[in-house]
């Protein structure tokens, strides 16, 4: 199963539309939490919003999770060690108040298990890849460096 | 010697990031404060206490929120106060500083373009004021050492 989530704050119809077009070729159920996005998506199993329990259940049972480039989603993928495909929201398309998700996507693009879909072709390729590597719970070098600095400050 | 560390974050992304900083507190005496009941148990964060949430849009709620926070802090007497946000965390840094604690602000990694509002408030009371984005740190005079990503 593919689980798609756009978060609770803003709609993201571009991602849901793209999934609706891809779904017939994927031979896999696609469950999509769409928030306030508006549209007609017959190929998807649509949920408006989810309780934290339902969110966790869908997230952990999915083969792959596809989402906007939200920090919460990225941290959840690390915590539950899931392959995550992210589609950054773009300011120019009215999808967020600024382009911070592009910055986040560039930052996490090299992280194991976090796969950025910069366009619809990327999205198709990533979602049809059979063995997408999962995100890792292990702290990145940057995370370890932050911990080290805090330790040093606390202990002096 | 182990120090008393008060670690505080609002529920949601701020809390998730605070939990990722836990390895920095190992060997010390930590108390966790957050705004959402149930959250500390979900992450096995003990001991903990819940404080009321408040933000800039509800000025009246800031008084009881601040009073309960202060009462907790006076009892615990932290040596170090650390927060990832948001407003209750900034207030805790201010109280902590007034009580003689050393204070740390780690601005949320969600703020890739500019420091958060509560981060700006925390600036004057944080001994260590950090952004998790190098460019944001540089532009604002914050320290950058890495990020939880």
Residue B110 belongs to domain with CATH number: 3.40.50.2000
How far apart CA A67 and CA A18 sit, in angstroms, is 12
Domains of chain A: total: 1
Mean per-residue pLDDT for B50-61?
Answer: 82
* Residue B101 lies inside a defined structural domain of this protein: yes
pLDDT digits (tens, 9 = 90+) for A76-129: 999 999 999 999 999 999 998 888 889 889 888 888 999 999 999 999 999 999
Helices (H), ranges, chain A: 13-26, 52-61, 71-80, 100-108, 120-128, 141-155
* Residue B148 lies inside a defined structural domain of this protein: no
* Residue B57 lies inside a defined structural domain of this protein: yes
* Residue B65 lies inside a defined structural domain of this protein: yes
- A-chain CB neighbours of B13 within 8 Å are 71-72, 75
* Residue B146 lies inside a defined structural domain of this protein: no
Domains of chain B: total: 1
Please answer whether residues B8 and B32 qualify as being in contact, where contact means their C-beta atoms are separated by less than 8 angstroms. Answer: yes
Give the chain B residue nearest A108 (alpha carbons).
Answer: B149
Q: Out of A70, A142, A148, whose CB is closest to B147?
A: A142
Peptide bond just before B47 cis, omega within 30 deg: yes
* Residue B149 lies inside a defined structural domain of this protein: no
Confidence of residue B29 (pLDDT cuts 50, 70, 90): very high
pTM: 0.83
Is there a contact between A146 and B108 if contact means CB atoms under 8 Å apart? no
HEC letters along B74-141: HHHCCCEEEEEECHHHHHHHHHHHHCCCEEEEECCCCCCCCCCHHHHHHHHHCCEEECCCHHHHHHHC
How far apart CA A150 and CA B113 sit, in angstroms, is 23
Residue owning tokens 């009881």: B64
pLDDT digits (tens, 9 = 90+) for A15-41: 999 999 999 999 899 999 999 888 999
What was the ipTM of the complex prediction?
A: 0.96
- A-chain CB neighbours of B108 within 8 Å are 71
Domain that holds residue B97: 4-140
Closest by CA to B104, choosing from B131, B77, B140, is: B131
CA distance B121 to chain A (A): 21
Cβ partners under 8 Å of residue A95, min gap 6: A10, A12, A14, A68, A89
* Residue B29 lies inside a defined structural domain of this protein: yes
CATH code of A28's domain = 3.40.50.2000
Phi, psi of B19 (to 5 degrees): -65, -30
Domain that holds residue A135: 2-155
């Amino acid at each position: 199963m593919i689980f798609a989530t756009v978060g609770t704050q803003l709609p993201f119809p571009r991602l849901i539309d793209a999934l609706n077009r891809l779904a017939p070729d994927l031979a896999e159920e696609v469950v999509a939490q769409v928030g306030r996005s508006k549209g007609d998506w017959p190929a998807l199993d649509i949920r408006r919003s989810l309780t934290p329990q339902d969110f966790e259940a869908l997230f952990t049972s999915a083969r792959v999770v596809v989402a906007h480039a939200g920090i919460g989603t990225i941290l959840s993928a690390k915590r539950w060690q899931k392959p995550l495909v992210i589609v950054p929201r773009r300011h120019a398309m009215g999808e967020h108040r600024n382009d911070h998700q592009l910055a986040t996507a560039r930052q996490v693009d090299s992280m194991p298990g976090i796969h950025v879909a910069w366009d619809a072709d990327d999205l198709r390729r990533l979602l049809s890849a059979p063995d997408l590597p999962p995100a890792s719970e292990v702290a990145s070098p940057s995370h370890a460096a932050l911990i080290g600095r805090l330790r040093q400050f606390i202990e002096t | 010697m182990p120090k008393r560390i008060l670690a505080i974050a609002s529920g949601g992304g701020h809390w998730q990031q605070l939990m990722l900083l836990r390895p920095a507190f190992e060997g010390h005496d930590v108390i966790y404060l957050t705004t959402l009941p149930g959250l500390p148990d979900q992450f096995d964060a003990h001991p903990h206490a819940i404080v009321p949430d408040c933000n800039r849009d509800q000025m009246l709620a800031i008084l009881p929120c601040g009073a309960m926070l202060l009462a907790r802090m006076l009892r615990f007497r932290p040596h170090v106060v650390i927060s990832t946000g948001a407003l209750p965390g900034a207030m805790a840094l201010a109280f902590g500083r007034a009580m003689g604690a050393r204070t740390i602000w780690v601005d949320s990694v969600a703020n890739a373009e500019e420091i958060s509002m509560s981060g700006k408030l925390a600036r004057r009371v944080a001994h260590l004021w950090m952004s998790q984005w190098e460019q944001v740190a540089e532009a604002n005079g914050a320290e950058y050492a890495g990020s939880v990503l």
